[in-house]
Amino acid sequence: MASQYDVIVLGSGPGGYVAAIRCAQLGLKTAIVERENLGGICLNWGCIPTKALLRSAEIFHYMQHAKDYGLAAKEITADLDAVVKRSRGVAKQLSQGIAHLMKKNKIAVHMGEGTLKDAATLEVKGDKGSETLSAKHIIVATGARARDLPFAPSDGKRIWTYRHAMVPPEMPSKLLVIGSGAIGIEFASFYNDMGAEVTVVEMLDRIVPVEDAEISAFLQKSLTKQGMDIRTATGLEDLKSSAKGVTANIKGKDGKVTTEEFSHAIVAIGIQPNTENIGLEGAGVKMDRGFIQIDGYGRTGTKGLWAIGDCVPGPWLAHKASHEGVTAAEAIAQELGNKDVHPHPLDRNAIPGCTYCHPQVASVGLTEDKAKEAGHEVKVGNFPFIGNGKAIALGEAEGFIKTVFDAKTGELLGAHMIGAEVTELIQGYTVGKVLETTEIELMGTIFPHPTLSEMMHESVLSAYGRALHI
């Protein structure tokens, strides 16, 4: 006989486990199904362990520049195995934390492969056999995996995806990074700081192409100064691996193809949703290139079946998945008769994006070009890190903050940052967008001194010709 629940969540990543917790908070009998590790890709192979790696690289970088701070450090070395071990320890700690949260919230955990039999029934095949679960509502949160090159699948030895790059069998000497989105640039930054010779190839005409054009240009200049070889409008024609390394045929801007040798290659060309073989074929849901199509609350169009996270249209970010999880949980509770919840559809213009390279990149809302394409007359503010006392004191005077406003209404349309700790600063503008702030409120806000956040104030003032410190 099937185990009965109000809600079953298929997948325990940052979308799935958050959805399960919110369902439980709302009094719903909830189960979660996971085939590998609680916490999904984010906690085990994505957001968290990569930040642990990048923190080690950041400290290594500072140690090598100790004299810039009046300090002395000699015979500085990096132990890649120890760096990776620390990263895996951080991931393990947080995955165990998710297990604690499941227990605390009385969420039943079923380990195994889940397959939909219909919109209300799930078969789970685990180490101890199969079991059948049923629920009034099922949330699909199966996430995604790295896309392989069709002509050169990853082998974990010389051609890596992000998973291989997090537990490298050896330190690359000469690394090719294919793709310059957040994942590609973060690994390029990590391995460059750790001492590898890094080349990045990007098919489009600029790196981190979803970011504002000024941010992309600044980042490319900074990474080049750090020693990276950055090639835009450049394609990969072929990639072959051997016991000694990889051979790449690279087509440059001029159309010429060169053959080059590298020790390793990281493929970072996007993701593939994990939506095959989970029973969606007969569930009546709409799909587009493998991604489940949903409304602003996570409904698939099939009654009782919901979807969130990386298996639905992007942006494919952990915090967006978590937000979708809460929204879907509250919409389900509302359908089941809870009158105290009032879910709101996802606002894609208020989703911040962060890239944890060196320097960091963060943004929310429309770029200047996108704002103009949307028909806005804009006012743009720009304030450099070199004009901020705290940045200079930190030895982090590289970067700037850019704000984009509607010239007629004063609406904050977008904010774009590059520099130290901007991934921590961006939330100020995100809150501003959610509160539908205008330049008046931001100008009238008192920012503490000395902080990096003062640049956020100055950038707003700059858009209206009122910047004080430049």
By C-alpha distance, which of 227, 218, 147, 155 is closest to 184?
147
User: Residue 269 in 3-state DSSP?
Assistant: coil
Taking alpha carbons only, the member of 382, 371, 383 closest to residue 407 is 371
What does the DSSP assignment read for 170-239? S--SEEEEE--SHHHHHHHHHHHHTT-EEEEE-SSSSSSTTS-HHHHHHHHHHHHHTT-EEE-S-EEEEE
388, 183 Cβ separation under 8 angstroms: no
Element holding 401 (H helix, E strand): strand 400-406
Q: Which residue has the tokens 């998973």?
A: 163
Q: Which residue has the tokens 């970067």?
A: 399
DSSP lists the bridge partners of residue 23 as none
Contact 144, 272 (CB under 8 A): yes
How many residues are given for the chain?
470
Residue 145, phi then psi, degrees to nearest 5:
-135, 165
How far is Cα 376 from Cα 381, in angstroms, rounded to an integer?
15
449 is catalytic: yes
Q: Name the 3-class secondary structure at 429.
A: helix
Helix (H, G, I), strand (E, B) or coil at 404: strand
Torsion angle, alpha carbons of 38, 39, 42, 45, to 10: -30
The catalytic position among 61, 342, 449, 457 is: 449
Q: Give yes or no for a contact between 152 and 159, defined as CB atoms under 8 angstroms apart.
A: yes
Looking at the annotation, which residues are catalytic? 449
